[in-house]
Amino acid sequence: MSGEKSWKIKELCGETRFNKEKILQGQGVDEPLSETGLKQAAAAGLFLTNVKFTHAFCSDLTRTAQTMQGILEKSKLCKDVTVTYDSRLRERKYGVAEGKALSELRAMAKAAGEECPAFTPPGGETLEQVKMRGKEFFEFLCQLILKEAGQKEPFSQGAPSNALETSLAEIFPLGKNRDSELNSDSGVPGLAASVLVVSHGAYMRSLFGYFLTDLKCSLPATLSKSELMSVSPNTGMSLFIIHFEEGGEVKPTIQCVCMNLQDHLNGVTETH
């Protein structure tokens, strides 16, 4: 298998009532989407309606499950895709601070002589623990894609891999501005997979940090490192290309195509 590629979109879940009220949910407060959140999920689904996903992974909390459902209900190509609900994709655990206002967490951090987000409240996860959880999921996903790609016949011209590529390039910045980058290695087989992942803001910020620091993820010229580490807006979309070389240990190279895309939310009005 030479130069297999997999695409990956990471989607943040929609708004809940507690998001709006700036209350920490973490893992212990399993709040459903608000009316605005349901609209955001539906809008994300319409935006992705013509994208073909080969895999779908989701945090097993209610707000992410509802977001995933909202996306797939609008899909023309993925209504029957099997969703894997994985606890490794859950939001950071905030322990005693869950259900409390964000301002209370900041006050707890100040009292301890620390600052957010590095501060870990009693019973919560450290940033390193969240990072390791994300790393474990990512390595599992890489192994899964590589194993499945190795079991398939090589793609021929006009094969499904090209269809995966086209369905993504039609709506993401890569198709408009970065087509030459995508095709710079035209001798390499096309996409092995198109993976949709729905998770949470603090968790994804930690995983993106792992991509940047440990895996040396390349960024678009218009994206700064500080933007990479910012918290995603509700249903913000980020797109990465993960590229594998043949042989040896799995050591992917990662290209960030876009971060926290919100184009789909232009017509969504907030419900009070």
| 191 compared with 271, residue with greater pLDDT | 191
91 is in an annotated binding site: yes
Range of the domain at 68: 5-94+125-265
Band (12; pLDDT cuts 50, 70, 90): confident
User: Is 104 one of the annotated binding-site residues?
Assistant: no
Query: 88: annotated binding-site residue?
Result: no
Flag whether 94 is marked binding: yes
The answer to the question of residue 185 being in a domain is yes
pLDDT in tens, 145-194: 988 887 775 544 445 557 788 888 888 876 444 443 444 443 445 688 99
Count of the separate structural domains present in the chain? 1
The pLDDT tens digits for 137-150 are: 999 999 999 888 87
Is residue 103 assigned to a domain?
no
- Read off the DSSP letter of residue 244: -
User: 11: pLDDT confidence band, cut at 50, 70 and 90?
Assistant: confident
> Is residue 119 in some structural domain?
no
Q: Is residue 113 part of a domain?
A: no
DSSP percent split of the chain into helix, strand, coil, nearest 5: 40, 15, 45
* Distance, CA of 187 to CA of 165 (rounded, Å): 15
Please check whether residue 259 lies inside any domain of the structure: yes
| Residue 210 belongs to domain with CATH number | 3.40.50.1240
Instruction: Tell me if 11 sits within 8 A of 235, measured CB to CB.
Output: yes
Q: Does 85 count as an annotated binding residue?
A: no
How far apart are the C-alpha atoms of 217 and 23, rounded to whole Å? Answer: 32
- Helix and strand numbers, DSSP H then E, in the chain: 10, 6
Identify whether 36 is part of a domain: yes
Residue 74: predicted pLDDT: 95
**Residue 10: inside a domain:** yes
Residue 30 lies in a domain: yes
How many CB atoms neighbour CB 213 within 10 A?
A: 12
Q: What is the pTM (predicted TM-score) of this model?
A: 0.89
